[in-house]
Structure 1
Amino acid sequence: MTTTSAPVGARLSTLDRFLPLWIGAAMVIGLLAGRWIPGLEGALNAVAVDGISLPIALGLLVMMYPVLAKVRYDRLDTVTRDRRLLLPSLVLNWLIGPALMFALAWLTLPDLPEYRTGLIIVGLARCIAMVVIWNDLACGDRDAAAVLVALNSVFQVVMFGVLGWFYLDVLPGRLGLDTTTLDVSAWQIVKNVLIFLGIPLVAGYLSRRIGERRKGRDWYESRFLPRVGPVALYGLLFTIVILFALQGNQITSRPLDVVRIALPLLAYFALMWAGSYALGKAIGLSYERTTTLAFTAAGNNFELAIAVAIATFGAASGQALAGVVGPLIEVPVLVGLVYVSLALRRRFTPAPTS
C-alpha cells in the first residue's frame, strides 16, 4: 500500500480491494461446512492441545507473522515515548471498553443472562491478534500496533481475572443485579498470550534481524516482505473458515439469538472505534497513530473469550455462543471500518517520513 492521494480502491492490491468479498465467502463456506459436513465440527475440535484448537492457532500464527515481520523494531522507542498514544490506549482498552460492554450487555440483554455474561467476557478480552491485520490494511502505524498489543498482553495477564471478578460479581452485586463467578486461571491467559502474540512476535523480530544482517535492509524490505505479505490475508481467510466451521451448526440453528447478541456488539464496535478515532484526532495524533489507537481499542481477543467461556460454562452454553458471535460481527464491521479509515485519511496532515 502507498501513501498517495489516489482513491481508496486504487491504493489497494487486488487481494485487498476485494477483501470484504473474500471474507464474506470464507464466513459462508465455514458456516455451511460446519452445518452440512457430517463430523467436521467434531474432527476439528479433536485437533486441539490443552484446549487450544490447532487449526485456529495455525491460521492466527500465519496471519500475524508477516505483519510483525514488517515492524521496524529499531524504531519502537519512538512509540514508547509517545504518552499521547500510550495513555489513551490503556484508558480505552482497560477502563472504557469493559465498562461500555458491561453497560450495553445489561441494557440490551437483561432477560438473557448467559448471553449477557458472554458479551461481558468478550469486552474484557482486549485484542492482541487480528487487530494487526486491520491496522495494516488501514495503513496504521505497525510499529505502534506492535507496542500496543504487547501492552495489552501484559495487562491481559494481570487484569483479565480481576476485571472478570469486578464486572461479573462485585459491580452487579452493588447495583442489585444478578452476579456470576468467572473461573479462569492465570495460566490460561498467559498461554493464550504466548501462543498468539509471543510466537509470531519472536519470529517477526528474528526474520528482520537475520534478514537485514545477511542480505541488507533494501533486500529485506523490497524482496522478502512483498513475498510474505499476502500470506497474512490467506491466514486470515483460513482462520475465518475454521472458526465458523467449528460453530456453524450452533450459529445457524439459533438465528434469533444471534441477532440479539449482534445488536450490542454492533453498537460496541462502532462506539469504540469512532470514539477512539475522534480522540486521536482531537489530541493531535497522526493519521497512522490515530488509526492504530482506534483499531486496537475496538478489537477484541475472541480466541481468549471463547476459550474462557467454554472452559467455565461449557461448549454448548449461551456464554460460548456469545463469544462465537463476537468475530461473526467483528470481522465484517472492522473490515468496513478499514475503508472508512482510509477515506478519512485526507483529513490529516501527512506524517513526516524518517
Structure 2
Amino acid sequence: MSQTVETTADQPDVLHRLSFLDRFLPLWILAAMAAGLVLGSVVPGLQGALDAVKIGQVSLPIALGLLLMMYPVLAKVRYDRLDTVTRDRRTLLLSLVLNWVAGPALMFVLAWLMLPDLPEYRTGLIIVGLARCIAMVIIWNDLACGDREAAAVLVALNSVFQVIMFGVLGWFYLDLLPGWLGLDTTSIDVSPWEIAASALIFLGIPLAAGYLSRRLGERAKGRTWYENRFLPRIGPVALYGLLFTIVVLFALQGETITARPLDVARIALPLLAYFAIMWAGSYALGRAAGLAYPRATTLAFTAAGNNFELAIAVAIGVFGVTSGQALAGVVGPLIEVPVLVGLVYVSLWLRGKWAVRAR
C-alpha cells in the first residue's frame, strides 16, 4: 500500500466543515422533541386532526414529512457511477455482507439482549437495523476523507437493494427467526406485506423522484448546475421533514415519554453498542482485506450508519404514529449524529496511523 496520506496535524476541524444545520443537528432534534411535547399538551384533538386525511395507514401531513425526508438524499446519488465499485469486488462483497447480513443480525441480537421486556421498542430497533444508511453517511465519509465516489455508489446500491429486500428481511427478523429460536413474539402482529408496502411507498417514490431529478436536471442544465445550484437548495428540506416528523411524534407520544423517560435511555444503549461494533468491525475487516484507508473508511461508515428516515416511515406506516416502534426510530438520529461525528475524529486519527504502517 503506497498511497501517501497526510498526518493528523493537517486534519481539518470536522465540526467547522459541517453546515450550520448539520453541525447542530442533535440540538435541532432536541428542540423538535421539546416543541412536540409542548404542542401535545396545549393542542387538544391533535391526533384526530392529523388522521382526517390518510395515505394508507399514515396521515397525509406525516406522509408528506416522511417523503420530504427521503427525496433530497436520493437526489444526491450519482446513479451513473455504479460500475466504479461493482468492478471492485472486494469492496462490493464486504459492503453487501456488512450491510445486509451482519448489520441486521447484530441489531436483532442487541435488541433482544437489551430490551427483552420492551417488545415495541425492540421491534423498532430491529426495523432500524434493516434500514441501511443512504443519508448522512456521505457527509461523515467526506469529513473522514473516505472515498467519495465509492460512498455514492454504495449508497445507490443500498437504495435499490432496500426496495427489493426490506420487506423480506422484515418478515425474517420479526417473525420467522424469532419463531425458529423459540422467542416470544406474541406481542408482535406484523405482516411482511405491510412492511414491504411502507418501504416501497416511502423509499420507492423518493428514489424514483431522486433518479428522475438528477437525470432530467443534468440533461437540461448540466451536472455543474445540478450539484452546485439545485442540490444545495433542496438539501435542507430533508432536515425540515425529519424535524416536522419528530415534532408530530412527540406531540402524540408526550404522555408516554414523560411517564417513562428511562425507556428512551434504554433504547439508546443498544444503538450505542451497534454503532461501536459495526464501525470498528468494518474498519478491521477492511484493513484485513487490504483496502486502502479511503475505501476502508467508506466501508465502515456505510456499514455503521442507518436510514432512520426509512425506519421511522415504516414504523409509522405499519404500527402507527403513537407506537413504541416509531419512538425507537426517532431516538436513533439523536444518538447517531454525535456518535458518528466522534467516529469521524477517530477515523482521522487512524488515517495517520495507516500512513505510518504504509511506509
Structure-2-length-normalised TM-score:
0.79
Which residue is equivalent to 1:213? 219
**Contact 1:30–1:240 (CA under 8 A) maintained in structure 2:** yes
What is the alpha-carbon distance in structure 1 between the residues aligned to residue 89 and residue 175 of structure 2? 29
**Contact 2:202–2:310 (CA under 8 A) maintained in structure 1:** no
How many residues are treated as equivalent by the alignment?
Answer: 332
What is the alpha-carbon distance in structure 2 between the residues aligned to residue 69 and residue 251 of structure 1? 35
Following superposition, the deviation at residue 11 of structure 1 comes to 0.9
Which residue is equivalent to 1:123? 126
Range with greater deviation from structure 2 (186-195 or 250-259):
250-259
Q: Where does the alignment leave 5 or more consecutive residues of structure 1 unmatched?
A: none
Amino acid paired to 2:48: G
Which residue is equivalent to 1:61? 67
Amino acid paired to 1:337: V
Amino acid paired to 1:116: P
**Contact 1:73–1:205 (CA under 8 A) maintained in structure 2:** yes
Which residue is equivalent to 2:6? none
What is the alpha-carbon distance in structure 2 between the residues aligned to residue 144 and residue 328 of structure 1? 24
Cα distance change, pair 252–266 in 1 and its aligned pair in 2 (3 A)? farther
Between the aligned residues of both structures, percent identity stands at: 52
Q: Secondary structure at the match of 2:156?
A: helix
Instruction: Give yes or no for the alignment of 1:71 onto 2:95.
Output: no
**Contact 1:135–1:142 (CA under 8 A) maintained in structure 2:** no
Cα distance change, pair 210–179 in 1 and its aligned pair in 2 (3 A)? closer
**Contact 1:126–1:156 (CA under 8 A) maintained in structure 2:** no
Q: Secondary structure at the match of 2:82?
A: helix
Following superposition, the deviation at residue 153 of structure 1 comes to 3.0
Which one of 294, 298, 304 corresponds to residue 304 of structure 2? 294
1:315-330 maps to which residues of 2 (within 5 A)?
A: 320-321=323-324, 323-330=325-332
Which residue is equivalent to 2:156? 146
Cα distance change, pair 46–259 in 1 and its aligned pair in 2 (3 A)? farther
Amino acid paired to 2:168: V
Following superposition, the deviation at residue 295 of structure 1 comes to 1.0
Q: Where does the alignment leave 5 or more consecutive residues of structure 2 unmatched?
A: 1-9, 143-150
What is the alpha-carbon distance in structure 2 between the residues aligned to residue 192 and residue 123 of structure 1? 15
Instruction: Give yes or no for the alignment of 1:165 onto 2:171.
Output: no
What is the alpha-carbon distance in structure 2 between the residues aligned to residue 225 and residue 117 of structure 1? 37
What is the alpha-carbon distance in structure 2 between the residues aligned to residue 181 and residue 168 of structure 1? 12
Instruction: Give yes or no for the alignment of 1:253 onto 2:259.
Output: yes
Which residue is equivalent to 2:46? 40
Amino acid paired to 2:32: A
Following superposition, the deviation at residue 294 of structure 1 comes to 1.9
What is the alpha-carbon distance in structure 2 between the residues aligned to residue 179 and residue 229 of structure 1? 40
Cα distance change, pair 35–84 in 1 and its aligned pair in 2 (3 A)? farther
Amino acid paired to 2:326: V
What is the alpha-carbon distance in structure 2 between the residues aligned to residue 35 and residue 263 of structure 1? 28
